[in-house]
Amino acid sequence: MTEVINDLLAYDGLKIIQRPDMFNFSLDSLLLGYFSPIGYKTKRVIDLCTGNAPVAMYLTLRTEIPIDAVEIQDDVYDLAKRSL
């Protein structure tokens, strides 16, 4: 399948691997990461159904706490793993 490597919007150095035949991240993904409440008591974050992991990648800019990204589709998991 054809794959493309895109910048994670305006963030230099953050690249995401996507396939045109699958769901691709959008501004909604980044807004979700931006508005996710991460307080000083937060010990760990889990991103269920992460897709190709745009939310998890964006959250790495906001915090250093552990982030678990979970995806059950093998093809999509592979894209997320290689992007991270």
Q: pTM surpassing 0.85?
A: no
Predicted confidence (pLDDT) per residue in 14-59, tens digit: 888 889 888 888 888 888 888 988 988 999 999 999 998 999 988 9
Query: What is the phi-psi region of residue 49: left when phi exceeds 0, alpha when psi lies from -120 to 50, beta otherwise?
Result: left
Taking alpha carbons only, the member of 17, 62, 74, 67 closest to residue 44 is 67
Predicted confidence (pLDDT) per residue in 42-51, tens digit: 999 999 999 9
Phi, psi of 50 (to 5 degrees): -65, -20
d(CA 44, CA 25): 23
| SS3 label, residue 3 | coil
